[in-house]
Amino acid sequence: GAVVSQHPSRVICKSGTSVKIECRSLDFQATTMFWYRQFPKQSLMLMATSNEGSKATYEQGVEKDKFLINHASLTLSTLTVTSAHPEDSSFYICSARDLRDTGPYGYTFGSGTRLTVV
Amino acid sequence: GQNIDQPTEMTATEGAIVQINCTYQTSGFNGLFWYQQHAGEAPTFLSYNVLDGLEEKGRFSSFLSRSKGYSYLLLKELQMKDSASYLCAVDNAGNMLTFGGGTRLMVKP
């Protein structure tokens, strides 16, 4: 089945630095990538949607200059948290979709990244 | 707008049956998903309903009523490992998923 590889799984960074999270679709072409953030004991909140070769569409309240998303190829999307602050500490999950797969299994999640900003 | 509601927490006994409800109001509908998520891990796909009725898969079943905007996930013969969060999500035909708040299920001996 479809696999999405997300790295790193855990990262600790100092306040004010930037962190890059990668998601790769290993055996399919991810025409669309979704980035979610999840705080403890809460559900997944969509941050942004990106289509290959296009600018990402950000959800209301998500700062596009702080959370930089690049989807330059059909197999790779990156999320860069710039000038990270402790309140950015969260669990970040990507999900990839091949729009040519119209079935229910068309959404594939990465394994998540636990970001801790100290 | 999109609104997906599910209970925040539920507790059940090992070996019993539990039903987790989900109600939704979305601008479009192209199917409803149930996912299981253990703490610190990514969601795992459990079921998908796009037509009304019951879908059964082993110990897990999922029901959908589109006219009522309602779904439930039924877990039978509960096991301790079933303690997790269960997420209801709707594909609103915009090729994206909108998640409910999740239901934390605790299975007790």
Per-residue pLDDT reduced to its tens digit, A38-77: 998 888 999 999 888 888 999 999 999 999 999 888 899 9
Contact between chains at B41 and A111 (C-beta distance less than 8 A): yes
**What Å distances lie between residue A60 and A23, A47, A49, A56, A70, CA to CA?**
23, 8, 12, 13, 19
Question: Looking at CA atoms only, how far is residue A76 from chain B in angstroms?
Answer: 18
Look at strands A113-117 and A10-13 and give their pairing.
parallel
Per-residue pLDDT reduced to its tens digit, A76-90: 999 999 999 999 999
Q: What is the mean pLDDT of each run of 10 residues along chain B (109 residues)?
A: 90 98 92 93 92 95 97 98 96 83 96
What's the whole-number mean pLDDT along residues A12-29? 94
Share of chain A above pLDDT 70, in %: 92
What pLDDT was estimated at residue A2? 78
Question: Looking at CA atoms only, how far is residue A34 from chain B in angstroms?
Answer: 8
What pLDDT was estimated at residue A105? 60
What is the C-alpha separation between A118 and A80, in angstroms, rounded?
17
Q: Which residue of A has its CA nearest to B33?
A: A104
Contact between chains at B42 and A112 (C-beta distance less than 8 A): yes
Residue B58 bridge partners (DSSP): none
Q: Which residue of B has its CA nearest to A4?
A: B42
**Which tokens belong to A93?**
């999950």
